């Protein structure tokens, strides 16, 4: 410091040490040292801010990687333990894989100055965060979030005595078919505000990352990194995902191979696995009954995973046998085969689907059941009432699964996950204020 401030030249040359030391007190007074200290502190703070900014930008940047088969990953033991312990309520939009650049249709409500327009990125997160404040004691009134309200809406308060939805318990709203068109960050933001949301990811080897509705493995790694980052930050709520297996992935499980399911659970945090052994999902369903003993062995070997079996005319030879000897981690999804999920119009909208029949659930009271097929954002409330009537019990929690009813068409996008439709479904369920079941296989 003395040298840079013009200290004695003899000091720099190795001579005049004492003379330089004597003059140092005159060259650097207390005020000079205070100024230098302040400058150093400012430089350090600016450096730290720059590092934080670079780290945040890097975490939001998506990377394009080739798709491939699922392999063992490097998910931390702490993350797996957290996923296994998740016990409160839950992937594809029109956004980019790293920033949720697509739109979210707001519907009728305007929250905190965000009007009914296309929303993406930070605006989307602000929208969901504002609407989600009702879960914490706020209410939405006049387009602005207000605290201290009751948090109930006209839809919830309109449930009259005798309404099938009174006391009806919904364990999950499963939104399936997510893919690379939506940011993992946006999905996590939604899940942290609405714990009843579950994201369904389709798995089929020949289509993975190559067709809509099938997320790439690179996208799954980004999802894993986002969940790990949130867990390490200390602001993490359980985020719920279900794997829908078709093709050879499904056949491997039917044959008794536990490696794939174990990988999905340990490395990616999937707590539920759907088996879809039908022709439409690339599986020869003519001899499903022969897989009964091997499938049972997989279910017993992984009690921490809930296995969901699709119930249709094709699968009844297998499903009926399993219903006779149910395992606690086995569930059934009733698919309405006679109803189209949504009939697309030339403008990308959807018309009303045909009427579908909702069968009664498995008679065993302890078995978790779900309903899918023919569900759209437009008819969800009315179909929930039909399902509640079919279930006929307020102590029988079920979930609903939507996939085709969440798709839209647009220029250059023939089959796209519509985050606006997903949001409309979330709003419908939230406004109905349906009770959630206690933490079990049916509600984790």
Q: What is the pLDDT of residues 126-172, one digit of tens each?
A: 545 554 454 444 433 333 333 333 333 444 445 777 788 887 889 99
Pair 50, 83 in one domain? no
Residue 359 is predicted with a pLDDT of 75
Is residue 257 domain-resident?
Answer: yes
pLDDT of residue 166: 82
d(CA 254, CA 275): 9
Assess whether 267 and 375 both reside in one domain.
yes
104 occurs within a structural domain: yes
Number of domains observed in the structure of the chain: 2
**What gap in Å lies between CA 251 and CA 315, rounded to an integer?**
13
Residue 105 is assigned to a structural domain of this protein: yes
Q: Give CA separation, 303 vs 268, 289, 310, 330, 343, in Å.
A: 17, 22, 19, 9, 39
| CA distance linking residue 2 with residue 332, whole number of Å | 80
Both 268 and 156 in a single domain?
yes
Does 68 fall in a domain? no
Q: Are residues 259 and 338 in the same domain?
A: yes
- pTM for this structure? 0.66
Q: Are residues 165 and 233 in the same domain?
A: yes
Same domain, yes or no: 239 and 374? yes
Q: For 162-174, give the DSSP string.
A: T-TTTT--EEEEE
User: Does residue 171 share a domain with residue 47?
Assistant: no
CATH code for the domain of 361: 3.20.20.70
Q: Which residues of the chain have pLDDT under 70?
A: 1-29, 33, 53-158, 235-236, 337-355, 436-444
- How far is residue 114's CA from residue 124's CA, in Å, rounded to a whole number? 9
Q: Same domain for 311 and 368? A: yes
**Three-point CA angle 179, 400, 315, nearest 5°:** 85
- Give the range of the structural domain holding residue 36, as residue numbers without chain letter: 9-55
Domain membership of residue 69 (yes or no) is no
pLDDT at residue 409, as a whole number: 84
Within-domain flag for 4: no
Does 107 share its domain with 226? yes
pLDDT of residue 213: 94
Compute how many other C-beta atoms are within 10 angstroms of the C-beta atom of residue 379: 18
One domain, residues 84 and 132: yes
Residue 234 domain flag: yes
The answer on 94 and 17 residing in a single domain is no
* Same-domain pairing of 92 and 21: no
Q: How many residues does the chain have?
A: 444
Q: What is the rounded end-to-end Cα distance, in angstroms, of the chain? A: 63
Residue 341 lies in a domain: yes
């Amino acid at each position: 410091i003395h040298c840079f401030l013009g200290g004695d030249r003899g000091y720099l040359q190795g001579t005049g040490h004492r003379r330089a030391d004597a003059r140092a007190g005159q060259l650097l007074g207390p005020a000079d040292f205070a100024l230098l200290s302040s400058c150093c502190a400012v430089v350090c703070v600016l450096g730290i801010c720059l590092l934080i900014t670079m780290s945040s930008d890097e975490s939001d940047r998506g990377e394009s990687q080739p798709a491939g088969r699922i392999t063992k990953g490097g998910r931390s033991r702490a993350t797996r333990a957290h996923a296994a312990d998740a016990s409160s309520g839950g992937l594809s939009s029109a956004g980019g894989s790293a920033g949720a650049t697509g739109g979210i249709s707001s519907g009728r409500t305007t929250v905190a100055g965000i009007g009914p327009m296309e929303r993406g990125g930070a605006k989307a997160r602000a929208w969901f965060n504002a609407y989600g404040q009702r879960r914490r004691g706020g209410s939405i009134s006049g387009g602005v979030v207000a605290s201290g309200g009751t948090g109930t809406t006209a839809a919830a308060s309109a449930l009259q005595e005798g309404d099938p939805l009174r006391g009806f318990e919904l364990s999950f709203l499963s939104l399936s078919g997510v893919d690379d068109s939506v940011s993992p960050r946006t999905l996590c933001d939604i899940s942290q505000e609405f714990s009843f949301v579950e994201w369904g990811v389709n798995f089929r080897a020949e289509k993975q990352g190559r067709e809509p509705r099938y997320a790439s493995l690179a996208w799954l790694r980004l999802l894993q990194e986002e969940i790990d980052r949130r867990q390490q930050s200390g602001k993490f709520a359980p985020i719920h995902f279900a794997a829908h297996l078709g093709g050879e992935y499904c056949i491997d499980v039917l044959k008794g191979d536990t490696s794939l399911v174990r990988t999905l659970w340990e490395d990616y945090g999937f707590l539920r696995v759907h088996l879809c052994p039908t022709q439409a999902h690339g599986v020869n369903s003519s001899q499903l009954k022969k897989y009964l003993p091997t499938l049972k062995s997989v279910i017993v070997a992984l009690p921490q995973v809930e296995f969901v079996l699709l119930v249709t005319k094709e699968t009844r030879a297998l499903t009926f046998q399993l219903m006779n000897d149910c395992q606690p981690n086995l569930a059934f999804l009733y698919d309405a085969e006679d109803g189209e999920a949504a009939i697309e119009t030339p403008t990308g909208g959807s018309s009303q689907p045909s009427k579908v029949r909702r069968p009664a659930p498995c008679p065993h009271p302890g078995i978790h059941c779900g309903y899918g097929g023919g569900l759209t954002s437009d008819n969800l409330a009315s179909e929930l009432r039909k399902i509640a009537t079919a279930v006929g019990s307020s102590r029988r929690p079920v979930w609903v699964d939507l996939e085709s009813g969440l798709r839209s068409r647009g220029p250059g996008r023939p089959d796209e996950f519509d985050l606006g439709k997903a949001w409309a479904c979330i709003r419908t369920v939230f406004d109905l204020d349906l009770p959630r079941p206690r933490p079990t296989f049916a509600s984790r």
